[in-house]
């Protein structure tokens, strides 16, 4: 069940900031990130566990968020979390796109898709599987690699997304030094995949 309906105009926001996209297909592009509170997926290695409890975070209206974005030259807004699809995002994406902002989402896919998106990054989690409809709509599949068994798990979802979906493997940050060499060899053997690195952590930006 959604934390709100389309008639509601505010969202719990853990943080919002203008930075560079650090991961996946749009890596290196300037983007305004809006991290919504609330998550029921519960990844043990999550680096933003403070986002899980929606009630801990201040509410922002759509216009307040759009006003913050418009203070910057951002052309892309990335809605992330937490799990952003706990919220109905129809009105938010409509108003942002009417203002000329391209809308991207990063989601586990564990809840029904709302909103109209220019780019959908699906990052499935073992703790709560993505819903089938979003598999066919994802523009990008990003699988976090924590151990060697995750390669087989990644292939399971690569077989379910559309043929045009971009495929990325990304090391879990604390395991990056250990797992990246295995990932390089895996991608060399399976070149349909690409490597995603969290470059924002290497260049020390949010």
Q: Which residue has the higher pLDDT, 157 or 48?
A: 157
Q: What is the model's pLDDT at position 201?
A: 83
User: What does the pLDDT read at residue 41?
Assistant: 72
- Output the pLDDT for position 5: 40
Q: Is residue 47 part of a domain?
A: yes
What local confidence, expressed as pLDDT, does residue 45 receive?
A: 57
Tell me how crowded residue 159 is: count the other CB atoms within 10 A of its CB: 8
Q: Which range of residues forms the domain containing residue 46?
A: 10-202
The reply to whether 106 falls in a domain is yes
In a domain, 53, yes or no: yes
Residue 164 lies in a domain: yes
**Is 19 contained in some domain?**
yes
SS3 per residue for 59-122 = EEEHHHHHHHHHCCCCCEEEEECCCHHHCCCHHHHHHHHHCCCEEEEEECCCCCCCCCCCEEEE
For residue 126, name the pLDDT band (cuts at 50, 70, 90). confident
Winning range, highest mean pLDDT, from 40-49, 171-180, 189-198:
189-198
Q: Is residue 109 part of a domain?
A: yes
CATH code where residue 101 lies: 3.20.20.70
In a domain, 4, yes or no: no
Q: Does residue 74 lie in a domain region?
A: yes
pLDDT for the residue numbered 56:
85
Instruction: Please state whether beta strands 119-122 and 140-145 pair in parallel, antiparallel, or not at all (unpaired).
Output: parallel
φ, ψ at 65 (rounded to 5°): -65, -45
Question: Per-residue pLDDT tens for 7-61?
Answer: 458 999 999 999 999 999 999 999 999 999 988 776 665 667 666 677 789 999 9
How many structural domains is the chain composed of?
Answer: 1
């Amino acid at each position: 069940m959604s934390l709100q309906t389309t008639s509601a105009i505010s969202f719990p926001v853990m943080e919002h900031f203008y930075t560079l996209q650090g991961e996946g297909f749009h890596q290196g592009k300037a983007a305004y990130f809006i991290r919504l509170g609330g998550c029921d997926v519960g990844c043990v290695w999550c680096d933003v566990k403070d986002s899980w409890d929606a009630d801990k975070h201040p509410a922002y209206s759509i216009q307040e968020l759009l006003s913050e974005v418009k203070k910057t030259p951002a052309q892309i807004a990335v809605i992330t979390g937490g799990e952003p699809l706990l919220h109905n995002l129809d009105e938010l994406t409509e108003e942002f796109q009417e203002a000329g902002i391209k809308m991207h989402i990063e989601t586990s896919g564990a809840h029904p898709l709302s909103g109209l998106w220019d780019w959908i990054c699906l990052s499935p989690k073992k703790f709560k599987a993505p819903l089938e409809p979003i598999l066919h709509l994802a523009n990008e599949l990003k699988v976090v690699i924590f151990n060697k068994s995750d390669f087989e798990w990644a292939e399971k979802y690569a077989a379910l997304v559309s043929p045009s979906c971009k495929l990325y493997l990304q090391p879990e940050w604390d395991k990056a030094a250990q797992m990246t060499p295995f990932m390089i060899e895996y991608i060399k053997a399976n070149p349909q995949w690409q490597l995603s690195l969290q470059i924002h952590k290497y260049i020390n930006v949010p």
